[in-house]
Amino acid sequence: MSRLHFGKQIFSKTMIVSSPPVSIVIPTYQGERFLEETLASVRAQTYPALEIIISDDGSTDRTLEIVKDFQQQTALDCQVFTHEHLGMVDNWNCAVSRSRGKYIKFLLQDDLLDANCVSEMVELAESDREIGLVFSRRDLLLSEEAKTNDTCLAIVRQIENLHSGWSRLALVQSGRSLLSDPRFLEGCINKIGEPSTVLIRKEVFDTVGEFDPDLCQHVDIDMWCRIMLNYKVGFIDRTLSFFRVHLSQQTLQNQQSDRISTDLQLFLRKMMVDPCYSELPTCLTSAIYVKLKEERDDLLARNTTHQQRIQELEITESELQAERSKHLHLIEKISTELQKAQDVITGMESSKFWKIRTTWKQTKRVLRLPDND
């Protein structure tokens, strides 16, 4: 297919003649910090047939003000939907339900798209009607504070160069071949990437359903896996999106609350028992079983260790309680003896002899006589 080049913009003749509509879907919530930059990357897209769907999840910052300015300044068809706070996943589903394009291009509120992202992804998707998902390389953008944050830097090490985790990637291949990859469960399980790095054929959602609100960290890879079970996948070996790492993002919050490991267990169990995964390749089912068994055995071992530690602490607590009781008894005994001594002293001080003795000692001090008492 021939191409026409206009500077950095790249168009195919087929696209110019007939461009299927694409919905750029942007779920927002308290996104004022990076949203203007994100929307600028939308405005820079070279693809001619776009609608912009912005679904706001009850933001109270400047998000809607920024969106309104964009809506007034752009010639693109931009629709904004607002609602009470639903949560991240339900907001994604709401945004998808509002879209009308043949393809859906997700763009999260902190991320960026290369100017040719939609054009190149649509061209690949249109080359084979059995393609349900297209993804590409993506780079990471670190906010200034993330560059010195240990947790953020650890996340970066885990998720950079995701595509290199596959044994083999082709321009177009069966999704099942990716699910059968022996390295599927190694390293970061989401080797496709975040929503901003994928383009999805809209009809896919009629086949595989919505994003699962029971998941948090693995909600995207759950969707990618369901798509891979039913469709081919396209891969563009070029950076077409940019995922931003910063201190307020959901991944960091999940990491700090230890929700990631729990969510992974939930996702893997879903792959084993949910009817939507009934056609999962046997090799992956077996690998998941082994992984879950290893996780269970590890949890049992850790539980045994914790129980032993609890018993040790209980013994220590019992010993400390006995020592404390002993000390309290001794304190009580000493207090009683001190009280008796005080009573004796009080009695002596009130006696006639004690008063005479005290007067005599005072007289000797006045007369400067030696006090031999």
Read off the pLDDT of each residue in 103-125 and give the average, rounded to a whole number. 98
Read off the pLDDT of each residue in 9-26 and give the average, rounded to a whole number. 69
Distance between CA atoms of residues 111 and 117, nearest Å: 13
CB 235 within 8 A of CB 106: no
Read off the pLDDT of each residue in 322-336 and give the average, rounded to a whole number. 81
CB atoms within 10 A of CB 311: 10
The superfamily CATH assigns to domain 3-279 is Spore Coat Polysaccharide Biosynthesis Protein SpsA; Chain A (3.90.550.10)
CB 147 within 8 A of CB 251: no
Residue 3 φ/ψ, nearest 5 degrees: -125, 150
CB 110 within 8 A of CB 246: yes
Which DSSP symbol is given to 147?
G
Tokens representing 84? 């009470």
**Measured in whole angstroms, how far is the alpha carbon of residue 372 from the centre of its chain?**
85
CB 226 within 8 A of CB 256: no
Q: Please choose, from the candidates 293, 290, 179, the residue with its C-alpha nearest in 3D space to the C-alpha of residue 229.
A: 179
Predicted pLDDT at 127: 98
pLDDT at 110 over 90: yes
CB atoms within 10 A of CB 181: 18
Percentage with pLDDT > 70 across the chain? 89
The domain ranges of the chain are 3-279
Read off the pLDDT of each residue in 242-262 and give the average, rounded to a whole number. 72
Mean pLDDT of the chain: 88
Which DSSP symbol is given to 193?
-
Read off the pLDDT of each residue in 234-249 and give the average, rounded to a whole number. 91
Q: Could you tell me the pTM of the whole model?
A: 0.76
Q: Please choose, from the candidates 139, 134, 101, the residue with its C-alpha nearest in 3D space to the C-alpha of residue 19.
A: 101
Of 248-262, 298-312, 313-327, the one with minimum mean pLDDT is 248-262
Of 127-141, 144-158, 226-240, the one with minimum mean pLDDT is 144-158
The terminus-to-terminus CA distance of the chain in angstroms comes to 122
Query: Could you tell me the pLDDT band of residue 232, with boundaries at 50, 70 and 90?
Result: very high
Distance between CA atoms of residues 261 and 14, nearest Å: 46
Using left for φ > 0, alpha for ψ between -120 and 50, and beta otherwise, residue 209 falls in left
Amino acid in position 217: Q
Is 207 in a helix, a strand, or coil? Answer: helix
Query: Could you tell me the pLDDT band of residue 13, with boundaries at 50, 70 and 90?
Result: very low
CB 281 within 8 A of CB 181: no
Predicted pLDDT at 129: 97
Percentage with pLDDT > 90 across the chain? 61
Predicted pLDDT at 252: 58
Read off the pLDDT of each residue in 114-139 and give the average, rounded to a whole number. 98
Distance between CA atoms of residues 198 and 221, nearest Å: 11
Tokens representing 265? 């267990």
Predicted pLDDT at 2: 32
